[in-house]
Amino acid sequence: MAPRNAMEAEEQPSRGTEEVLDSVEPIKQPTLRIVWRNVILMALLHFGAIYALTLIPKSHPLTWLWSLVYYLFAALGITAGAHRLWAHKSYKARAPLRCLLALMNAAAFQNDIFDWSRDHRVHHKYSETDADPHNAKRGFFFAHVGWLLVKKHPDVREKGKGLDFSDLYADKIVMLQKRFYLPLMVTFCFVVPTVVPCVFWGESLWNAYFVAAILRYCVGLNATWSVNSFAHLWGMKPYDKRINPAENLSVVLSAVGEGFHNFHHTFPSDYATSEYGWHLNITTVFINCMYYLGQAYDMKKTPDRVVQMRKQRTGDGSS
């Protein structure tokens, strides 16, 4: 029976509309495609690192010290290099420092500068969405290491196409490192840390390889991954309580200053990634030293009044 007036027509739903709605299928999320090569390699690496722990008491104390020094050397290639210099352009560096950071970055073996910086820019632009390479809303394991064990979500590639990477393409040192990344990575991540203990204080090749190369590399990877997982899931949010990234002291210490993550995602262009400058921030100390040596310049720093205003407006009240 037809409705008697226009109002009655609005109140009665159309059968045709109901049938269309009933026929719409739910949107399917892309299935996870496991990259078994990466799974196997990561498992072998971590088993090797666990075995290396048993070799520490049998190793020369200088090998322990060398592993720590080389850990910092490689870590700064990520934090001061791929992260703060190339991904965020938070300061500028002269050619000698950029060359050094490119070698340090190869020692960290976390992809070349171009790929690392590209993925990190996508991460900041689309943080905690499907376009984020290590979206923390998909769980701790995915944010920590799982994202490396599966194919990227289609949104990561699609949204990434819309970002500007012209500065990376124009940087000859970045492109040169990308071209020769494999031999540079093998040399500086595995050969150099193994050979030095053997040559200079007679460490066994076996101990040097597992402690200074494998264990050091594995710890470095997990320290970087902790920024994506721990610092995106737990901690204080004094600058913006509406976002996932948080201030996490354990990550600050392990990732040589990169755990001030609520600040960093609120003020991503700040070269210190922290309100507190060099405190507990080895990377900022390194950049400052390079500044005094004339190798770093034009460091960007968020004015204190802007930081304080933001804390009052969107912070969680912690400090």
Q: pLDDT tens digits for 194-225?
A: 999 999 999 999 999 999 999 999 999 999 99
Q: Give the chain's domain count.
A: 1
Dihedral of the alpha carbons of 182, 183, 184, 189, in degrees to the nearest 10: 80
Give me the domain span that covers residue 206.
34-304
The pLDDT value recorded for residue 87 is 98
Whether residue 243 lies inside any domain: the answer is: yes
Asked if the structure places residue 145 within a domain, the reply is yes
**Does residue 26 belong to any structural domain of this protein?**
no
Residue 125: its H or E element: helix 113-125
pLDDT at 30: 59
* H/E run at residue 237: none
The two beta strands, 296-297 and 92-93, are: antiparallel
Q: Is residue 299 part of a domain?
A: yes
Asked if residue 205 belongs to a domain, the reply is yes
- Check: CB of residue 93 under 8 Å from CB of residue 135: no
Between these two residues, 226 and 19, which has the higher pLDDT value?
226
Q: What is the pTM of this model?
A: 0.89
Say if residue 90 is exposed, middle or buried (CB neighbours under 10 Å; 0-12, 13-18, 19+).
buried
Cα–Cα distance for residue pair 241/219, rounded to 1 Å: 30
Quick check: is 252 in a domain? yes
Has residue 2 been placed in a domain? no
Distance CA 282, CA 285 (A): 5
Backbone angles phi, psi at 304, to 5 degrees: -60, -35
Mean pLDDT of 162-184: 97
Confidence of residue 14 (pLDDT cuts 50, 70, 90): very low
- Residue 88 in any domain: the answer is yes
Q: How confident is the model at residue 20 (pLDDT cuts 50, 70, 90)?
A: very low
Contact yes or no for 205/194 (Cβ under 8 A): yes
